[in-house]
Structure 1
Amino acid sequence: MSSEPSAAARVWGRRVLWGVLSLAVVVAAGIAGALLGYNQHAPKPVTVQELVTPAFEGTSRLRILALGLDQVSGNTDTIIVATVDFEKRAVYALSIPRDTRAEIPGHRTFKVNAAYAWGGLETVRQTVENLLGTRIDRVVVLRLEGFKRIVDLLGGVEIDVEKDMHYVDRKQRLYIHLKKGYRLLDGEKALQYVRFRHDPLGDLGRIHRQHQFLRALARKMFQWQEIDRLPELTRQVMEQLETD
């Protein structure tokens, strides 16, 4: 029996990559564009059909390290390892708390969120591989502006904000002001929601909110009717994306 995924599984997997890995860091169209070798300076328009050309032939499982970059500190304060299983049609997402101690190759044991700032893509890949004892197939780093652009192009994302959230850090240029309730969040407000961690649960509370938002964003992607705008979404995100 062939170990290669079926055509239906590959189609499902590509859609999951766009929808589920969008957060933070693993942005739907951005990841698709990176993995498909999209060139934003291409001399001819890129069609939707070209964007969804299979890039995973012969692959049954793909493990992606998605990082959300804080451009002020240079650290990756969102760290998600997403495993896409094409045959089982399942996605498993593991968030690594930013303060987790890890051995950073060529440096020393320190907080895992410093690995990218200290050595770039390859260093952060090796750090996480050693920490988890598993192979990473792709690494993507998304700047905060790219996250906001995705949410705005989708027309916002609905989320149930569980409580009032207020926090100001002028040094980090971080201003969070959210009211409790079911709300349609634009890019700026969505970023505030996924970055808030100033409650008793700290970073674990933030991780929980990020996963909630990831699910809401995936639902929005699956329901999105403006498929003709997918190339535009990809182009805008690619400007904010770094990948191997």
Structure 2
Amino acid sequence: MRHEEKNNEQDKNKEKKKMSKKKKVLISISIILLLILVSAGVFYFYVRGKIYQQNPGASQDVTYEEQPGITNILLIGTDARKLDEAARADAIIIATIDNNHKKLKLTSIMRDTLAKIPDHGEQKINAALAYGGPDLLMKTINENFNLNLNKYVMVNFGGFKEIIDEVGGIEVDIHDYEIPELNKFIGEYEKVKSPKITETGMQKLDGQQALAYARIRKVGNGDYERTERQRRVIDLVTQKFKDLSPLKYPSVMSSLLPYIKTNIEPFMMLNYAYTASKFPSLTFEQLRVPFSDEISWGGLYKNKGWVLIVDREQNAKIMREFIFDDKTPDANSYSVKEWKEKLASYLNENNEHIKENGPLKDYDDDYIPPVTSSKNENSTQNSTQNKKPVTTPSKDTTNKPSGSKNPNNDEESNKGDSTTGSGSGSGNSTSGGNNQTPGESDNENNNTNKPGTGTGSGSGSGNGTGTGGSTDKEENNQGSANAPETNQ
């Protein structure tokens, strides 16, 4: 009997070790996933760690559920010193966990994109966060690009800096034209300054330097290149975190918690991590919206400074095909002729408010109009449009399958492709187009609720009630980002 009891005890110990190892793997993936998604994902691990400490016995019985279809999470970077204060979104990225094609994806939306913000009229899309927090920003993206976002993770600059310091910094290839702007931002967030960067080439950056690097905007290809830098930093941090010792997790947790805000329950984040753990790779495919300079326009607009007017219909289509169908956009994905017709009509209607090609550096991009509601546009809080996001892969997008329909997508119920063009571009994270600065007309996607009279396909409501299963149980909304701009 004693021999049998001893064997049973040994079996139990082996099982515990297996479970412990499994937990460590999932915890690591949880953090890596959120780091990639938000560059501060330790929030989840912190909460989960608290649960295990409180009830260690129950941890052995945790069941992880693989999430079917496609899950989209809005990642928001803000320059607010406190998460609850009104501030613009400095980074707007949609992270996709694509269980249909076993891939992770990142889609950046340019923060200067002109969009119709519910109850506030036309503004830069990043102002939605200042007006109504993450909920209004998600709603704005949903209504302008036919998406169905309902989950977010928000991190401010303090968290961004802390996570990079915790992983020991990152190595970045610095170009000569980036150095002046990079050094200008170093020390802006806190009084204590990190050393300035003086040499080009591969440089190891600490948290403050990396934050400054991610904020560079007014050089090179302007905001287009800025979004590429942000995605690059997320990817670099992710790679560093894979090799981070679990012993470092507690310090990462405690330092990051004050900087992160999310509406995702801890157990669901674990399920997302479990889902991603089964993917063959944790690298990200990337897209930028607008996808190409050929379907967007940049200029000075009213009192809003320099804005990007984009073809929302065509960019929305590209996003949906990238996110849901795993299609890599190219020059055949959109119609330049269609866009030019829409843009000409829009500029003609708003000629007195527009000055093309104004130098970006001469205008303050921090401007946020007074918080006064314009007309109520019959938009409900947290409305979600079940439409497939149109994102364009910017990294390693070659040889991707043209992907079939995703029956389990969480935004799968979008059918109407009112965007008649298919997006073009190089498929690189900086998307196709000339390397012009934002002050030049290098803009992409012009469909921000205005360019309305072109030859766009839908008339205001895309066909789709869609039937796809929504893993997030989001309602199927009949959207219209595919219709001419005048519809929204």
- TM bin, normalised by shorter chain, reads 0.7 to 0.9
2:168 maps to which of 139, 145, 155: 155
2:233 alignment counterpart: 213
Cα deviations by residue, 1:55-114 (Å, 9 ceiling, x for unpaired): 654444221100111127811111101111235331111101110011111211100111
Is it true that 1:65 corresponds to 2:74 in the alignment? yes
Is it true that 1:81 corresponds to 2:94 in the alignment? yes
Is it true that 1:117 corresponds to 2:130 in the alignment? yes
1:195 alignment counterpart: 215
Q: Distance in 2 between the 1:208 and 1:161 partners?
A: 13
Q: Distance in 2 between the 1:141 and 1:211 partners?
A: 15
Tell me which moved more, 175-184 or 77-86. 175-184
Q: Partner letter of residue 72 of structure 2?
A: R
Q: Distance in 2 between the 1:147 and 1:159 partners?
A: 16
CA gap of 1:205–1:20, structure 2 versus 1, over 3 A, is farther
C-alpha contact (below 8 Å) 1:143/1:240 kept by paired residues: yes
Is it true that 1:132 corresponds to 2:151 in the alignment? no
Q: Distance in 1 between the 2:104 and 2:26 partners?
A: 9
Is it true that 1:234 corresponds to 2:253 in the alignment? yes
Higher Rg: 2
Tell me which moved more, 214-223 or 137-146. 214-223
SS at match of 1:239: helix
Q: Partner letter of residue 155 of structure 2?
A: L
Identify, as 1 or 2, the structure richer in strand.
1
CA gap of 1:99–1:16, structure 2 versus 1, over 3 A, is farther
The structural deviation recorded for 1:236 is: 2.1
Tell me which moved more, 193-202 or 84-93. 84-93
Q: Distance in 1 between the 2:174 and 2:144 partners?
A: 33
Cα deviations by residue, 1:203-227 (Å, 9 ceiling, x for unpaired): 0011121222222122111222x11
C-alpha contact (below 8 Å) 1:20/1:214 kept by paired residues: no
The structural deviation recorded for 1:238 is: 1.8
Q: Partner letter of residue 196 of structure 1?
A: I
Cα deviations by residue, 1:183-233 (Å, 9 ceiling, x for unpaired): 111101110111111214110011121222222122111222x11222332
2:115 alignment counterpart: 102
1:165 maps to which of 154, 179, 198: 179
TM-score by length of 1: 0.77
- How many residues align? The count is 225
The structural deviation recorded for 1:19 is: 2.6
Tell me which moved more, 131-140 or 104-113. 131-140
Cα deviations by residue, 1:11-53 (Å, 9 ceiling, x for unpaired): 99975653355268442323x349xxx2898794798x96xx6
C-alpha contact (below 8 Å) 1:62/1:84 kept by paired residues: yes
Unmatched runs of 5 consecutive residues or more in structure 1: 1-10
C-alpha contact (below 8 Å) 1:26/1:140 kept by paired residues: no
Q: Partner letter of residue 216 of structure 1?
A: L
Q: Distance in 2 between the 1:104 and 1:13 partners?
A: 38
Q: Distance in 2 between the 1:40 and 1:162 partners?
A: 41
Tell me which moved more, 230-239 or 111-120. 230-239
C-alpha contact (below 8 Å) 2:67/2:99 kept by paired residues: no
The structural deviation recorded for 1:129 is: 1.4
Tell me which moved more, 133-142 or 96-105. 133-142
Q: Distance in 2 between the 1:138 and 1:80 partners?
A: 12
The structural deviation recorded for 1:237 is: 1.5
CA gap of 1:55–1:233, structure 2 versus 1, over 3 A, is farther
Cα deviations by residue, 1:135-173 (Å, 9 ceiling, x for unpaired): 114111101010111011111111111334213379x76
The structural deviation recorded for 1:115 is: 0.6
Q: Distance in 2 between the 1:24 and 1:166 partners?
A: 29
Tell me which moved more, 20-29 or 58-67. 20-29
SS at match of 2:35: coil
Q: Distance in 1 between the 2:109 and 2:69 partners?
A: 24
Q: Partner letter of residue 165 of structure 1?
A: I
Q: Distance in 2 between the 1:46 and 1:111 partners?
A: 47
